Homo-oligomer: A and B are copies of this chain.
Amino acid sequence: MKAFIGTFVNKIDAKGRVSVPAPFRAVVQAKGMNAVALYPSPTEACAEGCGMDRIDTLVDAMPDDFSPIARNNDMAEIILASARETPFDADGRVVLPEDFIAHAGLSERAAFVGKGRVFQIWDPDKLAESHAALKQRIAAQRKAASGKGGA
């Protein structure tokens, strides 16, 4: 199964359009789809994207029965409430909804970041900050583990 990997920075035009990187487009088009699902990340300052097949998985995760004791699935609920199916135009671009741009703090350029089954869309500056913090956490974890004789 093809996955979303790598980072690509593309330009956002005046209408909020942005080219989805060709490798990412290939991932969803390989599944016969011509659109991506986008939604604001519930936990980070970015937008997140995936194929519609992943949305179907979320739908299945929603309480489908009519039991009054049905468990909630907060994450699925917030994503389904905020997601949008954004089709590709003829050239592989999508239109970023206005509220997603606001949530992610996007302006001129959008960084598409592969995360495996999903991808994220960041403002390049905010992405750099996030990655700096990430590397610090890794360093801290290595330091914490070094006492145990790890490599």
A-to-B contact residues, CB < 8 Å: 1, 3-7, 23, 37, 42-43, 55-56, 58-59, 61-62, 64, 66-68, 73-85, 113-117, 131, 134-135, 137-138, 141-142, 149, 151
Contact = CB atoms under 8 A, between A and B. Distances in A.
- Give this chain's copy count: 2
A59 to B, nearest CB: 4
Contact of A114 (B7, B83, B114, B151): B83
A106 B38 CA distance: 28
Given A66-B79, A74-B141, 7 more contacts: A5-B55, A7-B81, A66-B73, A77-B115, A80-B116, A81-B115, A137-B151
B42 A135 contact: yes
